[in-house]
């Protein structure tokens, strides 16, 4: 080893020890240090030693941080005098060789080599054992009876671990003894519970047998017509019951108030009848669907139930409702200019559009009223789609639009009453269970609504001329004239109709008439042909 490297290593040791242990700063200088000290000759040597010293400091600090984090480093080399001999080289004169130093003894060299390694290994082992003990302590369950024991840093690890294990064993034994109780004899309680369960099961079986004997399921009297449409996607037979349930719920939500005219200051039921009769003319002129007419009347009644209006705005409201319904139901609806022309230009296009927007806001954009035509088609399916009774039923449904006493009746009830009365008028008095199932109403529930329709017919049907003339046409089998004649044959004009009282008599007349027709047909069949 050259003479230039030896002072650097020793200087590094001296510098490191000086930074870690301040006790070396007061150490007494040796004779070699005093002998080699020359004033004014430290500049060159100091500059030569600076770089390795900094590197040595970083290495010492990193080594100590890896092995002894958070622990105080013992001063193992405090008494070694060979460390301070580096000062001879740092104080040598510039341009001259440094004075030879006295070599260290063998014992001192052994201390320099072994002391740091042995002390570092011992501290590392102690740290590892302490960490293992702490991990073992953290995995143990917390003790509620024993206070945590505090260990001293200077106490050896071998003496602390067994004591902790003994305390943990004592604690577990005490818990086990505390939790171990005398087993309770539960055999009698289990036997009682089993007996109670058997008694309850026997009672339930008896009740089930009694119900099966006394409450036998009633046989299905109506014919399932939807089962025959399983292969027709247009009939949606798998969803038809859910659709009907939705109709029932929706028609109640969109039903207007039956007495809403009491909240109107300038309007009467006669004003409403005149307006709807004019809407019937407009509807027939455009040849629109029946659904458009029924939705128009529903929107008008719902709006008048919510807002009082003046008389001079009534026709504007009717026009806007008709415009909304036709756009909702029709494939090709009339334009707003055509609507204004039909009103003889009494209102402008802007006024009609403004009224339309206002009505929709008041109704909360709810146009989901199912209407009676859907229920009439449903009932006609059970009536084998007989056209005569169905045409009469259509006429009776439009009577429901004009008669103010039928404002509070749901569309399904109206359709059932119209079909029942139409069948009765054409000589088909039977209301079969299949018809009752598909219209969802019995004959007893239908009678009050049918009575109101008959009273409208025998009172003065000509007061709404548009409706009477429409169904007096051959296209509609002249059913308006036929129904008036049929009703006047049984009740006097402008009289009260007691349909419930006179129903048996009417059905007896129908059966007698049908028997006569059957007899005539049989006689015609046996008559010889000429």
Most confident of 152-156, 409-413, 457-461, 463-467: 409-413
**For residues 503-529, b (16+ Cβ closer than 10 Å) or e, as one string?**
eeeeeeebeeeeeeeeeeeeeeeeeee
Surface-to-core class of residue 212, CB atoms within 10 Å of its CB (0-12 exposed, 13-18 middle, 19+ buried)? exposed
Any idea which residue has 């026997």 for tokens?
Answer: 202
Question: What pLDDT, on a 0 to 100 scale, did the predictor assign at position 375?
Answer: 95
**Selection from 382, 353, 402, 39 nearest residue 224 by Cα:** 382
Token digits of residue 66: 């890896």
Residue 347 has pLDDT above 80, yes or no: yes
Confidence of residue 185 (pLDDT cuts 50, 70, 90): low
The pTM (predicted TM-score) of the whole model is 0.60
Query: Residue 157 contacts by C-beta under 8 Å, 6 or more apart in sequence?
Result: 126, 129, 130, 133
Contact criterion met (CB below 8 Å) for 101 and 26: no
pLDDT computed for residue 165 by the predictor: 45
32 exposed, middle or buried (CB, 10 Å; 0-12, 13-18, 19+)? buried
End-to-end CA distance of the chain: 156
Taking CA atoms, 523 is separated from 126, 511, 529, in Å, by 127, 18, 12
State mean pLDDT over 445-449.
95
The predicted structure's pLDDT at residue 328: 95
Lowest mean pLDDT among 286-300, 324-338, 449-463: 449-463
CA angle, residues 382, 426, 374, in degrees to nearest 5: 35
- In this prediction, residue 148 carries a pLDDT of 47
Q: pLDDT tens digits, residue range 187-197?
A: 777 778 888 88
Q: What is the DSSP letter of 426?
A: T
d(CA 331, CA 136): 83
Higher pLDDT, 40 or 321: 321
27-58 pLDDT, tens digit each: 444 444 444 444 444 444 344 444 444 444 44
- Dump strand ranges (E) for 435-515: none
Burial annotation 53-90 (CB, 10 A radius, 16+ → b, else e):
eeebeeebeeeeeeebeeeebeebbeebebbbbbbbbb
Choice between 116 and 274, residue whose per-residue pLDDT is larger: 274
Measured CA angle at 265 (ends 263, 269), to 5 deg: 75
Cα–Cα–Cα angle for 372, 373, 375, rounded to 5 degrees? 65
Residue entry with tokens 């039921």: 269
The secondary structure element, H or E, covering residue 349 is helix 349-362
Residue 237 has pLDDT above 50, yes or no: yes
Compare 68 and 487 and report the one with higher pLDDT.
487
From residue 138, give the alpha-carbon distance in Å to each of 132, 143, 164, 175, 271: 10, 12, 12, 19, 91
The DSSP letter of residue 16 is H
Find the mean pLDDT for residues 64-78: 44
Residues of the chain within CATH 1.10.472.10 domain(s) are: 256-363, 372-522
> Could you tell me the fold of the domain covering 372-522?
Cyclin A; domain 1 (1.10.472)
Which of 35-49, 71-85, 168-182, 459-473 has the highest average model confidence (pLDDT)? 459-473
Look at residue 332 and give its three-state secondary structure: coil
Average pLDDT for residues 315-339, to the nearest whole number?
94
**Which pairs with CB-CB distance under 8 Å and at least 24 residues apart come from 212-221?**
221/433
Structure tokens at 403: 């008669």
Residue 205: per-residue pLDDT: 77
Please tell me the predicted confidence (pLDDT) of residue 188: 75
Structure confidence at residue 294 (pLDDT): 96
Compute the mean pLDDT over every residue in the chain, rounded to the nearest whole number: 75
pLDDT the model gives residue 216: 55
Residue range 395-421: mean pLDDT, rounded: 95
The string of DSSP letters for 261-282 reads GGG-SS--HHHHHHHHHHHHHH
* 259 neighbors 267 (Cβ within 8 angstroms): no
CB of 159 closer than 8 Å to CB of 165: no
Q: Encode pLDDT of 474-496 as tens digits.
A: 999 999 999 999 999 999 988 88
Does residue 320 contact residue 309 with C-beta atoms inside 8 Å? Answer: no
Tokens in use for 218? 């009633």
- Predicted confidence (pLDDT) at residue 69 exceeds the cutoff of 50: no
| Whole-angstrom distance, CA of residue 521 vs CA of residue 270 | 49
Q: Over range 161-176, report the average pLDDT.
A: 46
Q: Tell me: pLDDT of 463 over 80.
A: no
State the pLDDT confidence band at 85, using cuts at 50, 70 and 90: very low
Task: Characterise 44 by phi-psi region: left (phi > 0), alpha (psi -120 to 50), beta (else).
Answer: alpha
What are the residues whose beta carbons fall under 8 Å from the beta carbon of 227, sequence distance 6 or more?
237
pLDDT(444) > 90: yes
- Which listed CATH number (3.40.50.2000, 1.10.472.10, 1.10.1240.10, 3.40.1030.10) goes with 256-363? 1.10.472.10
Which residues fall within 8 angstroms of residue 41, CB to CB, at 6 or more apart?
91, 92, 93, 94, 95, 96
The better pLDDT of the pair 227, 393 is held by 393
The tokens describing 126, both together, are 């102690």
Please check the confidence at residue 263 and state whether its pLDDT lies above 60.
Answer: yes
Instruction: Give the 3-state secondary structure percentages of the chain, helix then strand then coil, rounded to 5.
Output: 70, 0, 30
Element (H, E) at 129: helix 106-139
């Amino acid at each position: 080893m050259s003479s230039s490297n030896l002072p650097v290593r020793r200087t590094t040791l001296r510098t490191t020890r000086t930074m870690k242990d301040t006790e070396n700063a007061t150490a007494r200088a040796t004779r070699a240090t005093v002998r080699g000290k020359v004033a004014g000759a430290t500049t060159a040597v100091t500059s030569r030693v600076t770089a390795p010293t900094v590197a040595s400091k970083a290495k010492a600090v990193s080594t100590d941080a890896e092995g002894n984090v958070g622990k105080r480093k013992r001063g193992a080399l405090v008494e070694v005098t060979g460390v301070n001999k580096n000062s001879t080289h740092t104080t040598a004169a510039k341009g001259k060789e440094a004075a030879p130093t006295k070599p260290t003894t063998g014992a001192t060299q052994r201390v320099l080599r072994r002391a740091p390694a042995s002390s570092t290994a011992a501290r590392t082992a102690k740290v590892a054992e302490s960490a293992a003990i702490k991990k073992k302590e953290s995995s143990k369950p917390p003790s509620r009876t024993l206070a945590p024991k505090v260990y001293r840093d200077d106490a050896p690890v071998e003496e602390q671990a067994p004591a902790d294990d003994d305390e943990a064993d004592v604690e577990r034994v005490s818990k086990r003894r505390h939790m171990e109780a005398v087993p309770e004899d539960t055999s009698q309680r289990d036997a009682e519970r089993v007996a109670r369960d058997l008694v309850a099961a026997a009672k339930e079986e008896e009740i089930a047998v009694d119900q099966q004997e006394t409450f036998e399921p009633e046989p299905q009297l109506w014919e399932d017509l939807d089962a025959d449409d399983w292969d027709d996607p247009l009939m949606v037979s798998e969803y038809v019951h859910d659709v009907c349930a939705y109709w029932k719920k929706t028609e109640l939500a969109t039903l207007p108030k039956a007495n809403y005219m009491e909240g109107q200051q300038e309007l009467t039921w006669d004003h409403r009848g005149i307006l709807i009769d004019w809407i019937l003319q407009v509807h027939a002129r455009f040849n629109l669907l029946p659904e458009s007419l029924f939705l128009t009347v529903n929107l008008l009644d719902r709006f008048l139930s919510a807002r009082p209006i003046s008389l001079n705005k009534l026709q504007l409201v009717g026009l806007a409702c008709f415009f909304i319904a036709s756009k909702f139901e029709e494939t090709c609806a009339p334009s707003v200019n055509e609507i204004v022309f039909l009103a003889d230009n009494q209102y402008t296009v802007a006024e009609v559009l403004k009224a339309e927007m206002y009505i929709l806001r008041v109704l909360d954009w709810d146009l989901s009223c199912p209407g009676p035509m859907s229920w009439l088609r449903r009932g006609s399916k059970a009536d084998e789609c007989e056209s005569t009774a169905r045409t009469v039923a259509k006429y009776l449904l439009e009577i429901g639009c004009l008669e103010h006493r039928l404002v509070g009746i749901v569309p399904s009830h109206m359709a059932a009453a119209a079909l029942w009365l139409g069948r009765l008028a054409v000589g088909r008095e039977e209301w079969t269970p299949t018809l009752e199932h598909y219209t969802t109403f019995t004959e007893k529930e239908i009678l009050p609504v049918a009575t109101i329709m008959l009273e409208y017919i025998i009172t003065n049907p000509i007061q709404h001329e548009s409706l009477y003339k429409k169904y007096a046409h051959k296209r509609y089998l002249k059913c308006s004239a036929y129904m008036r004649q049929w009703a006047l044959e049984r009740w006097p004009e402008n009289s009260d109709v007691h349909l419930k009282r006179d129903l048996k008599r009417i059905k007896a007349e129908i059966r007698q008439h049908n028997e006569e027709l059957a007899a005539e047909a049989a006689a015609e069949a046996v008559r010889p042909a000429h």
